[in-house]
Amino acid sequence: MTDTTARVHELNLYRRYFDLVAAGAKTIEVRVKYPHLEDLAAGNTIRFRIKGTDETCDVRVLRVTEYETFEALLDGEGPANVNPNASRDEQLANIRSIYGPEKEALGALAIEIKRVVPDQV
């Protein structure tokens, strides 16, 4: 028997990225391949939250692709899909300031997302 129940993952997001997701401008979320994200799959929902607030934004996961490095991820997915307001080099620097080399060594996940607008199921 297969469990077809879509999971909801709650993840924190910085305000600058949250606003891009909420506007539908950010279609690729970058994460480290942590064990708690192993079962993240197409059809799941991610509820992004700005840490310390009640602000949330739900997205549906369309695809999850693993890359060895953040550089490979940006090259494979296109920087404009990750952050349309920053150059590739700026994004790489920003991502690496959030996740150090020991985290990047775990692998990088490109999570293709689509904003779920309330009252549109």
SS3 assignment, position 49? strand
* Cα–Cα dist 23/10, whole Å: 19
pTM: 0.91
The structural domains of the chain, with segments of one domain joined by +, span 8-115
Question: Strands 56-67, 45-49: parallel, antiparallel or unpaired by DSSP?
Answer: antiparallel
The CATH number of the domain covering residues in 8-115: 2.30.130.30
Q: Tell me which residue has tokens 């009252």.
A: 119
Give per-residue pLDDT as tens, 47-91. Answer: 999 988 999 999 999 999 999 999 999 999 999 999 999 999 999
Contact 35, 109 (CB under 8 A): no
Helix (H) or strand (E) run with residue 29 in it: strand 28-32
